[in-house]
Chains A and B, each alone.
Chain A
Amino acid sequence: MNLEKVVFGFFILLALTLNFGFVYGHIDNPAHHASWELFAAIVVNLIATALKFGERTQIGAILLAASLVADLQLIAAAVVWGVAVYGTGTGLTEMTMASIVSLAGGALVANVVSVTLLIIETVKIHR
């Protein structure tokens, strides 16, 4: 067992699970989506991205791309949140909450792709 691989898999999976945890719930209900969870998802996603730096294989490149997509979507969600609450003062209306969660939902798809690729690579090596 390779500790580096464990850490790598851990962060990629954690990025997916946290992301899922944030998205889970009614899309327009602010009570179902905690800002802490979004924060944690962003941090873990950034770490997962950094871990993929410098991989020069084809699969490594797609993993990195998927991670960058997830980062972008999550950060966009956080920015929407910040602007809505502190910038324009609109507050967390149903409309803003829905757009925040759907942005995070996009990131979730990217994270699913990441994990799928990781599994494919693992299976290929074992064969």
Chain B
Amino acid sequence: MMSESQPNVGNAAFYMVLRRMRMPILLLIGSYAVGIVILIAIPGEHADGERWRMNFIDALYFLTYTAPTIGFGEYPYEFNYAQRFGYMPAIYLPVLAWAYSIVTLIGLIQDPVFRRTVEAGRFRRRVRRLADPFWIVCGCGDTGSMLVRSLTERGWEATVLDIQEQPIAELWTRDLRRFVPGWQADANRTENLRAAGLDHPLCEGVLAVTNDDHTNLQIAITVKLLRPQLRVICRAEHQSSADNMISFGTDYVVNPFESFADRLALAIRKPEMHRIYEWLSGMPNTPLFDPAPPPSGRWLICGYGRFGKAVCRRLDKIEVPYTIIEQAPQRAAAPPEAIEGKGTEAATLREAGIEYAAALLAGTDDDADNLSIVMTARDIAPQIYLAARENQMAHRSLFKAAQMELPVEPSYIIATRMLSLITAPLLPEFLRMARGFDRSWQAQLARRIREVSGGLVPEIWTLETSTEGTPALQELHQEGRTVTLAHVLDHPHHPGQPINAVVLMLVRPEAVVPLPDLQVALDKGDRLLLCGTPEARHQLEWTLYHHNTLRFLVTGEERPDGTIWRWLEQRRQAKPN
């Protein structure tokens, strides 16, 4: 039976109350029944000796005001002694039954199982009521909270699962733009993912960013089995988990260490391309991050864990020399020439040859150690290029104060990569193609992005031409007009002055064109990857939605607007024929 195998969990709390309150309610009914019988059975006497009895209404009324309160007097007439004796149990019984009911109810409210059931029901209801597209965020640590904030700022909704109570409680205290339902539950369990909205028609995808690779893997498998069309973006810190996730179709896997190592190599060899990467995948509306290119001289790598290894692999590839400093070289399987030590002492750094090194990377998994390494290194060699891994967002201000050239924030790296994947699914493809071009092309693109962005990280968005999304374009096409990119990027109020946006890529079934020529005509079904200011984005959306604006940009003529004027215009045009 459906109802037995899959109980409606949303109402579970209600049924719990009913079941627990069964006894108190039975006692209440019983005590009232007995009380009423006693009240009616014992006759009273008027002053003149005439006998009277209560009727049902009198009896129920008398009990109603005596049982839950202290009562107010004898009703309807003064009682005799026989009545008073008899009525005492009739009053005490319901009072006791009420007390018992209230105690049971309070006990139930304090019962942790009950509270959890209530929370679960509330979470499910809230998720069910979501009316805008949303993402399920599993794990609400540094990365997760950053993702939730950015998603809500971009108009998405989010639901949050976290294994711990604290991050969920903090969701309530943060001033997010939208209400984000959160629940303290294990994302490993399918049922909990379902509660978070896996089956919801508006669910866009799942972001698995717990700090446990295995959990992320489990989430990815669950989603890909139950709703393969949903996008899953995973965090993975081990290459083996990442490969595993990719193997069954996880859409993207973000490995913070590999990501950073990749960027570092890029920054050393192709600083222009690195800039493009940073700018296109940064947190929008933060200042453009423009680091001095890291040197290609000898690097000191402190800590040869997953992070250190990833960096060393890339440095090998681009042939940059490095020296490893590792506390336990044997256990970390470091090459024999590695220096043993933490790197926090001057002696170790000197032994590793810091005087001749061009750069130092403090990459241990301990923030205090990393800061200490950086400070020591700066003392010995003030000119050295410093990079340090920041493990916890809580230490951000310390790392800022240390003023190193290249901070490494794994949670920030993951959050920004994931966000750019969410808002602009075409971006990875574009970046991959851009890497293939020469440095002058890349430098020109970087210059162009800086021009339009006004010093802030630009917004990246994807635009698809369709009947619903861009009706103005559709209408002009029906009139047989050609609409080029230059037309739509023009500003209707300042003709000849294009809006602050760059078309990074044009995707058609037959072609993918990076940085397309502005004279290219737009077609139905084209997908564009754009970057620019938020104002430019709104302007472009306006242009493509309002046919008068677009017609003005294309033909330079202004037409009467409004349904009646349009109708008159049609009649006027139809007449001569």
Contacts and interface: CB of A to CB of B under 8 A. Distances in A.
Contacts of A78: 56
Interface residues of B, number: 21
A43 interface: yes
Interface stretch (A16-24, A47-55, A89-97, A98-106): A47-55
A50 B56 contact: no
Interface string A105-122: 000000000000000000
A56 B57 contact: no
A82 interface: yes
Nearest to B27: A50
A58 B56 contact: no
Interface string B1-27: 101100100000001101111100110
Interface string A17-36: 00000000000000000010
Contacts of A39: 33, 36, 56
Nearest to B14: A54
Given A35-B56, A54-B19, A86-B57, A47 B26 contact: yes
Contacts of A85: 55
B4 A57 contact: yes
A50 B26 CA distance: 6
B524 to A, nearest CB: 52
A43 B3 contact: no
A65 interface: no
Contact of B30 (A47, A57, A82, A86): A47
Contacts of B18: 53-54
Contacts of B20: 54
Contacts of A82: 56-57
Contacts of A51: 22, 26
A42 B99 CA distance: 23
Contact of A58 (B1, B25, B26): B1
Nearest to B22: A53
B22 A58 contact: no
Nearest to A78: B56
B19 A53 contact: yes
B88 interface: no
Contacts of A47: 26, 29-30
Contacts, number: 43
A95 B117 CA distance: 51
A57 B57 CA distance: 37
Nearest to B37: A39
A54 B7 CA distance: 13
Chain A interface mostly: helix
A46 interface: yes
Listed residue (B1, B22, B36, B56) with the most chain A CB atoms within 10 angstroms of its CB: B56
Interface residues of A, number: 16
A56 B57 CA distance: 36
A85 B55 CA distance: 11
A10 to B, nearest CB: 13
A86 B61 CA distance: 13
A94 to B, nearest CB: 21
Interface string B75-89: 000000000000000
Contacts of B4: 56-57
A51 B1 CA distance: 23
A82 B57 CA distance: 7
A50 B33 CA distance: 14
Listed residue (B16, B18, B55) with the most chain A CB atoms within 10 angstroms of its CB: B18
A35 B58 CA distance: 14
Given A56-B15, A57-B1, A50 B25 contact: yes
B105 to A, nearest CB: 14
Given A47-B26, A47-B29, A58-B1, A53 B56 contact: no
B29 A46 contact: yes
Contacts of B3: 56-58
B12 to A, nearest CB: 9
A53 B22 CA distance: 6
Contacts of B32: 43
A12 B557 CA distance: 83
A53 B55 contact: no
Interface in B467-506: none
A35 B60 CA distance: 14
Interface string B26-57: 10011011001000000000000000000111
A39 B37 CA distance: 9
Contacts of A54: 15-16, 18-20, 22
A54 B108 CA distance: 15
Given A54-B19, A57-B1, A43 B33 contact: yes
A86 B7 contact: no
A53 B30 contact: no
A43 B29 contact: yes
Given A58-B1, A58-B3, A53 B57 contact: no
A82 B55 CA distance: 9
Interface in A46-84: 46-47, 50-51, 53-54, 56-58, 78, 82
A86 B76 CA distance: 13
B392 to A, nearest CB: 46
A50 B55 contact: no
A35 B56 CA distance: 9
A59 to B, nearest CB: 10
A91 to B, nearest CB: 13
B27 to A, nearest CB: 9
A36 B16 CA distance: 35
Nearest to B8: A56
Contacts of B15: 54, 56
A2 to B, nearest CB: 16
Given A43-B33, A54-B15, A58-B3, A86 B55 contact: yes
Given A39-B36, A51-B22, A54-B19, 6 more contacts: A35-B56, A43-B29, A56-B4, A56-B7, A57-B3, A82-B57
24 contacts: A35-B56, A39-B33, A43-B29, A43-B32, A47-B26, A47-B29, A47-B30, A50-B25, A50-B29, A51-B22, A53-B18, A53-B19, A53-B21, A54-B15, A54-B16, A54-B18, A54-B22, A56-B7, A57-B1, A57-B3, A58-B1, A58-B3, A82-B57, A85-B55
Interface of B: 1, 3-4, 7, 15-16, 18-22, 25-26, 29-30, 32-33, 36, 55-57
Which are the 7 A-B pairs with shortest beta-carbon distances?
A54-B19, A53-B18, A43-B33, A54-B18, A50-B25, A46-B29, A53-B22
